[in-house]
């Protein structure tokens, strides 16, 4: 096994999520580096780290290109840190610190941790990698718990979409909860779709265009023709950033029908009212809210009638961040 070098650079969560196959191309190296993004400190949810593993000692040109991945670090004049790892297995190292976790009926673990031997538990194996959504972040865990809650309430869904699927985890969870549903999972990043397909194989989840398979598509929002053809959906899941959530509100509303349930995450507590306001304006009503640390997960339902007057009354209500009833 050859020596491996690790390059570390601080970034924001938004910068970590924006990484794509295009801006990870490093022209100054003959090999393809592998990138891992992770939360640096649970107490500071916007502080993330980019870790790049490569099999050659990074030169100045390489480090210059890496520095461009984090505008916030560049602004603070923080330079990439370089560490020689020797002949250690960097894949194993990148998984260290990702402890298995339980979210509702789901047990999310990496390939370095064994699954639970419990028939009441659904084991899902997701390794850290370039796509966001390992289940080890509060947003994904909160979504898993919200989906599990809907199942416990007896909700049944036949047509589901996971927008911004990342690793595919939430789509896999939806398949387990509603095995007869038609499910499509999309992401703007083609790397995420590749990662989702790999994770599906690991977890024995069928991928393709058949009724029981999850269909994976690279799509900017809900623009893909296949997404429009399958609309309207009765369950929509979107675990992405607050800005894209707000921008996608009209598209998501257009893909929904009366009583469509919408599960939103990826926003901070300080962004909750802005996101909620965007969706109330297009006809959704808040039905349930849960928070993990600074990260809320909102469950909404598409109303039959809506208007700006109702929007303003609800958004100013002190109950806007609380529970509005079962759905």
H-only helix segments in the chain: 13-18, 60-67, 71-75, 90-95, 138-152, 169-177, 190-202, 225-230, 242-254, 272-280, 308-315
Question: How does strand 284-292 pair with strand 233-239?
Answer: unpaired
**Phi/psi at 289 (5° precision):** -140, 135
Q: Is 187 annotated as a binding residue?
A: yes
- The 3-state DSSP class for residue 85 equals strand
In whole angstroms, give the CA distance from residue 198 to residue 310.
45
Distance CA 40, CA 43 (A): 9
Residue 270 near residue 194, CB atoms below 8 Å: no
Looking at beta carbons, which pairs linking 117-125 to residues 24 or more positions away fall under 8 Å?
122/173, 122/176, 124/169, 124/172, 124/173, 124/203, 125/199, 125/202, 125/203
Distances (CA, A) of 109 to 100, 136, 165: 4, 9, 18
Token pair of 130 as six digits? 């370039």
Residue 186 near residue 220, CB atoms below 8 Å: no
204: burial class by Cβ within 10 Å (0-12, 13-18, 19+)?
A: exposed
- According to the annotation, is 133 in a ligand binding site? no
140 is in an annotated binding site: yes
239 is in an annotated binding site: yes
Q: Are strands 122-125 and 106-109 parallel, antiparallel or unpaired?
A: parallel
User: Which residues carry a binding-site annotation?
Assistant: 140, 164, 187, 239
Q: Residues comprising the binding site for S-adenosyl-L-methionine?
A: 140, 164, 187, 239
């Amino acid at each position: 096994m050859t020596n491996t070098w690790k390059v570390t650079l601080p970034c924001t969560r938004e910068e970590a999520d924006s990484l794509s196959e295009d801006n990870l191309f490093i022209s100054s190296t003959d090999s393809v580096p592998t990138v891992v993004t992770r939360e640096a400190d649970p107490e500071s949810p916007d502080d993330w780290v980019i870790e790049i593993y490569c099999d050659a000692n990074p030169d100045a040109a390489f480090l210059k290109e890496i520095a461009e991945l984090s505008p916030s670090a560049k602004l603070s004049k923080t330079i990439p840190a370089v560490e020689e790892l020797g002949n250690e297995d960097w894949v194993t190292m990148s998984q260290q610190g990702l402890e298995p976790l339980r979210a509702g009926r789901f047990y999310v673990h990496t390939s370095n941790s064994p699954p639970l031997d419990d028939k009441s538990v659904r084991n899902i194996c997701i390794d850290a990698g370039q796509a966001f959504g390992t289940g080890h972040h509060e947003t994904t865990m909160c979504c898993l718990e919200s989906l599990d809650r809907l199942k416990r309430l007896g909700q049944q869904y036949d047509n589901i979409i996971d927008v911004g699927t990342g690793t595919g985890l939430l789509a896999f969870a939806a398949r387990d909860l509603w095995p007869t549903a038609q499910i499509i999972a999309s992401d703007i990043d083609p790397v995420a779709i590749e990662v989702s397909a790999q994770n599906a194989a690991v977890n024995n989840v069928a991928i393709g265009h058949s009724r029981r398979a999850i269909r994976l598509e690279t799509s900017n929002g809900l623009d893909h023709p296949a997404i429009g053809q399958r609309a309207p959906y009765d369950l929509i899941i979107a675990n992405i950033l607050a800005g894209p959530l707000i921008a996608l509100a009209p598209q998501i509303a257009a893909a929904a029908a009366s009583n469509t349930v919408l599960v939103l995450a990826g926003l901070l507590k300080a962004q909750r009212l802005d996101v909620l306001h965007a969706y109330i304006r297009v006809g959704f009503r808040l039905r349930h809210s849960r928070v993990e640390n600074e990260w809320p997960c909102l469950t909404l339902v598409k109303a039959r009638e809506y208007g700006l007057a109702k929007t303003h009354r609800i958004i100013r209500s002190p109950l806007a961040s609380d529970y509005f009833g079962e759905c």
